[in-house]
């Protein structure tokens, strides 16, 4: 049952908790929500709760006053219980007037409830234990028309309760100190690569079934460096550094491996200074779009309509398969998507050349 109260617009609102316990891309796509809360409640103290993997990402969102990390590290039961008690006592002391959970899981719902906020809003969910919905004072029906971008899905929760949405797409403002740090790191590359275009590539995803494949990316990077006069920086997590090193070794001399060598804010600064970002369905494309850099993103089993950056400077490459997007975790639950594995290098190269480099 959907429960809706009155509008949450109030001049007396002083403290707001925005809860986003999704992955890095979800955090970026939640920035328009933070912007809307700031616009509607300019004097409120806005706190955002995220998982530790979000790192320093919120330093690039000027609308957030404070970050709360929801630790998902495993601990002995007694220590974990004591830690949780201390955490919630500290959180409750912040006296939130409003808590907003952008997802439909139980953990965010419990967090919202234990803050003691007078108003707690979230999406109604049929897929969780019955008590999950009871933890909110107000529930909205999930906004699920076909081809609705996830960023709009998140902001729909706010607009349902009277919050005016003024910023449609995520925007990130990288601190100047971070931009300067990355500019210094790029000086050697720029000095030795002449007038080559700087291209950042993220070949990896948290989920292997979203990946194009290392073989394809190695061939693609080689062509990109030789035929479009580009210098490529490969990015990824520290766990992906060895894979990135193998790609760099097989490609051109105009390739650098920065996987695991940047914070998220530094990654944003790097992408902001690049001519182009190329990747698969992963966090990098959201960060690139949010700093205003053109993107080419490869999609297969997941929906570009739901997740890909929008706008004239953004391009998606999708397999011409009737089953794509299938929303499955690989063909026949194998963890490997045939539509991506068989996507030709030429298809991606033509998209990059035609749309972003002016090469016919």
Q: What is the reported pTM?
A: 0.93
CB 337 within 8 A of CB 331: yes
Do 327 and 192 belong together in one domain? yes
Do 343 and 194 belong together in one domain? yes
Do 134 and 56 belong together in one domain? yes
The verdict on residue 1 lying in a domain is: no
Note the pLDDT tens digit of each residue in 93-109. Answer: 889 999 999 999 999 99
Q: What is the pLDDT of residue 23?
A: 95
CB 327 within 8 A of CB 302: yes
CB 286 within 8 A of CB 208: no
Do 347 and 301 belong together in one domain? yes
Q: What is the pLDDT of residue 80?
A: 57
Note the pLDDT tens digit of each residue in 166-204. Answer: 888 999 999 999 999 999 999 988 888 888 899 999 999
The verdict on residue 169 lying in a domain is: no
Q: In Å, how far are 13, 22, 202, 234 from 227, measured between CA atoms?
A: 57, 39, 20, 18
The verdict on residue 304 lying in a domain is: yes
User: DSSP readout, 287-335?
Assistant: HHHHTT--EEEE-SSS-HHHHS--STTEEEE----TT-S---SSGGGSS
Do 182 and 298 belong together in one domain? yes
Do 208 and 122 belong together in one domain? no
The verdict on residue 237 lying in a domain is: yes
For the chain, residues with pLDDT lower than 70 are: 1-9, 11, 73-85, 145-146, 356-360
The verdict on residue 2 lying in a domain is: no
Do 247 and 303 belong together in one domain? yes
The verdict on residue 168 lying in a domain is: no
The verdict on residue 166 lying in a domain is: no
Looking at 100, 129, 159, the residue that finishes a domain is 159
Note the pLDDT tens digit of each residue in 224-241. Answer: 988 888 999 999 999 999
Do 34 and 62 belong together in one domain? yes
Looking at 159, 186, 209, the residue that finishes a domain is 159
As for how many domains the chain has, the answer is 2
Q: Kindly report the CA angle at 342 between 237 and 206, in degrees rounded to 5?
A: 20
Domain with 74 in it? 15-159
Do 143 and 212 belong together in one domain? no
Do 310 and 231 belong together in one domain? yes
Q: What is the pLDDT of residue 145?
A: 61
The verdict on residue 255 lying in a domain is: yes
Do 275 and 331 belong together in one domain? yes
N-to-C CA span, the chain: 56
Do 145 and 120 belong together in one domain? yes
What CATH number is attached to the domain comprising 66?
A: 3.40.50.2000
Helix axes 31-40, 150-159, angle to 10 degrees: 30
Average pLDDT, the chain: 90
Looking at 110, 131, 159, the residue that finishes a domain is 159
């Amino acid at each position: 049952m959907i429960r809706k109260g009155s509008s949450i617009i109030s001049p007396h609102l002083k403290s707001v908790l925005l809860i986003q316990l999704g992955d890095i891309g979800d955090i970026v796509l939640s920035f328009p929500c933070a912007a809307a809360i700031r616009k509607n409640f300019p004097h409120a103290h806005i706190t955002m709760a995220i998982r530790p993997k979000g790192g320093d990402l919120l330093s690039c969102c000027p609308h957030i006053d404070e970050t709360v990390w929801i630790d998902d590290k495993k601990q002995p039961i007694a220590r974990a219980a004591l830690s949780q008690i201390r955490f919630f006592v500290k959180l409750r002391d912040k006296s939130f007037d409003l808590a907003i959970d952008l997802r439909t899981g139980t953990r965010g719902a419990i967090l919202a409830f234990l803050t003691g906020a007078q108003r707690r809003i979230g999406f109604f969910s049929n897929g969780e234990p019955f008590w999950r919905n009871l933890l909110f004072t107000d529930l909205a029906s999930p906004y699920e028309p076909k081809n609705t971008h996830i960023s709009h899905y998140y902001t729909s929760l706010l607009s349902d309760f009277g919050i005016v949405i003024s910023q449609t797409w995520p925007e990130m403002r990288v601190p100047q100190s971070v931009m300067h740090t990355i500019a210094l790191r790029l000086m050697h590359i720029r000095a030795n690569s002449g007038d080559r275009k700087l291209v950042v590539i993220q070949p990896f995803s948290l989920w292997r079934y979203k990946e194009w494949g290392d073989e394809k990316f190695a061939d693609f990077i080689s062509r990109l460096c030789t035929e479009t006069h580009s210098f490529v920086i490969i990015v990824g997590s520290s766990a992906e550094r060895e894979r990135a090193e193998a790609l760099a070794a097989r490609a051109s001399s105009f390739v650098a491996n920065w996987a695991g060598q940047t914070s998220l804010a530094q990654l944003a600064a790097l992408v902001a200074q690049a001519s182009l970002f190329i990747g698969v369905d992963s966090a990098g494309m959201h960060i690139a779009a949010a700093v205003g850099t053109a993107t080419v993103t490869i999609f297969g089993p997941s929906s570009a309509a739901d997740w890909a950056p929008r706008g004239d400077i953004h391009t998606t490459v999708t397999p011409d398969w009737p089953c794509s997007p299938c929303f499955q975790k690989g063909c026949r639950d194998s963890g490997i998507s045939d539509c991506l594995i068989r996507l030709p290098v030429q298809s991606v190269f033509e998209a990059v050349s035609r749309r972003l480099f002016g090469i016919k």
